[in-house]
A and B are shown apart, each in its own frame.
Chain A
């Protein structure tokens, strides 16, 4: 028996080694290196000659905290996460409820249609939305003009650029969470609703006291994945606004990209990346904690 278990262990590791080795070398090691890098002054000179590399302690982090541009990027990223995330989750849930409603016919058709933007290439649809947002020829302003709204310079107006990017991101993403919500809804036993109906509970009370609580774990999963994804916003501002106007759509990842891969300030960029990591970690813990405190 011990021999059997021993050979099991050997075979298991043989199957695991390729994946673990690849992840260790190309993911976990770089994470560790990024941490170390964030305490050095790695720049374009060090890129050519590693002897130029110096340990600088916390100075990258201090520099970040003193940089107005970093605070702008942080604020923009939070704007995107705090407004875009919940908006996307609520719309996903609404779409899931509609598609899954017993009265809706052809749910498969609606599901597929709402899901289509998810499988599209972000860069390509960001290009498309750039034109849809055109203040003069764009379809969106034309549609709004039909209901009497004056033209908006979506991507050119500092106050509208971030909402425009959020709108596009929600359009692109809501179908994904919708599918997960539909799966969650279908897992709720029908008998519960029947029992509630017999007790005289209306649609709202059924939603409030059956659907929402039983959807709890799905909700947590969706909220977490959405938050983690939204913190990493990059391609939308890169393609649609390059971070403008007046840096109002500059995200942390875009800042990291510019600092690290355009100006080769890799120590400084690593520090920015780690701040992002800590924020995501803190957001995740906060959500898990809030959920645990809630009576289920």
Chain B
């Protein structure tokens, strides 16, 4: 009996893993396959898993008639700008929390962490009115500015820097380097791995974000990919293959980013998850 179990256990394990793999990857693979099918083929019974003939016509339509290049540009620009700016701002604050002593530091930091339970949606209505006052509704800045500082980002940088000895910084201070210089030419290079991690998080978060861009961007020429895609669904819900091509183009950039840099990404989740 025991031997039987010992033989069956790995089999059962691999069986479950294979089932998991099938369920996890099928939607993504079907999305890709359907995007390459001639119009109408994805709506046939029984469903086809493989295009009869491969066509790129839907991708061509997206770029020539539906302005997809524009949305791709908007998404890249917004995610890139938010990432660069927020890396500076969050790393400065995380550095201050990790390596400086000042009164009220720990209490301030803990209050910020406690604020993580506040859902962002609560702030959205007044934020909209505020940005309207500044004339930032329906501009790129309306999306960029609220993303420039994040509690999670500050937390991640702080956790990382806590593990780095302060003696190096003190030595630089002895040599008379200014505080900003120490941050710029010592702390930032030291933080490189965590900056890559936080950079991926921020880029993906901004790229994938839906609700806030949906609210702020009303002019279709400013739409990000997710907003454009949701909008496209209204007119083209029957064009399964076209919608799948749009989904592929939305998902592919962040997926490639993840596959290439997954080491950093996963390290970041572990750092954020373990010490939170």
Contacts and interface: CB of A to CB of B under 8 A. Distances in A.
Interface of A: 5, 8-9, 11-16, 18-20, 22-23, 25-31, 33-34, 37, 47, 94-95, 98-99, 101, 103-104, 110-117, 119-125, 127-132, 134, 136-139, 142, 171, 175-176, 179-180, 183-184, 187, 218, 221-222, 228, 231-232, 234-235, 238-239, 253, 256-257, 260-261, 266, 269-270, 273-274, 276-277, 280-281, 284
A26 B130 contact: yes
Contacts, number: 275
Nearest to B22: A143
B103 A131 contact: no
Contacts of A175: 24
A146 to B, nearest CB: 9
A104 B259 contact: no
B24 A11 contact: no
A113 to B, nearest CB: 6
B94 to A, nearest CB: 9
Nearest to B92: A15
Which 4 pairs, one residue from A and one from B, show the smallest C-beta to C-beta distance? A33-B126, A12-B100, A19-B93, A30-B123
A59 to B, nearest CB: 17
Given A124-B247, A256-B125, 7 more contacts: A34-B122, A104-B13, A121-B208, A121-B229, A130-B233, A183-B274, A270-B122
A103 to B, nearest CB: 5
A132 B27 contact: yes
Nearest to B208: A121
Nearest to B247: A124
Interface stretch (B44-52, B54-62, B189-197): B44-52
Given A26-B127, A131-B243, A124 B122 contact: no
A69 B114 CA distance: 31
A161 B183 CA distance: 52
Interface string B203-215: 0100110110001
Nearest to A265: B125
Contacts of B259: 112
A13 B31 CA distance: 49
Contacts of B129: 33, 47, 266
Interface in B29-54: 30-31, 34, 42-47
Contacts of B265: 119
A206 to B, nearest CB: 14
A184 B274 CA distance: 7
Contact of A27 (B24, B123, B257, B270): B123
A30 B130 contact: yes
Candidate in B34, B103, B274 with the most chain A CB atoms within 10 angstroms: B274
B230 A239 contact: yes
Main secondary structure of the interface of B (DSSP, over half): helix
Given A129-B27, A137-B44, A273 B96 contact: no
A174 B172 CA distance: 45
Nearest to B11: A103
A10 B82 CA distance: 27
B25 interface: yes
A116 B25 contact: yes
Nearest to A104: B13
B9 interface: yes
B119 A98 contact: no
A208 B91 CA distance: 41
B140 interface: no
Contact of B233 (A30, A113, A127, A218): A127
B211 A234 contact: yes
B47 A30 contact: no
B8 to A, nearest CB: 12
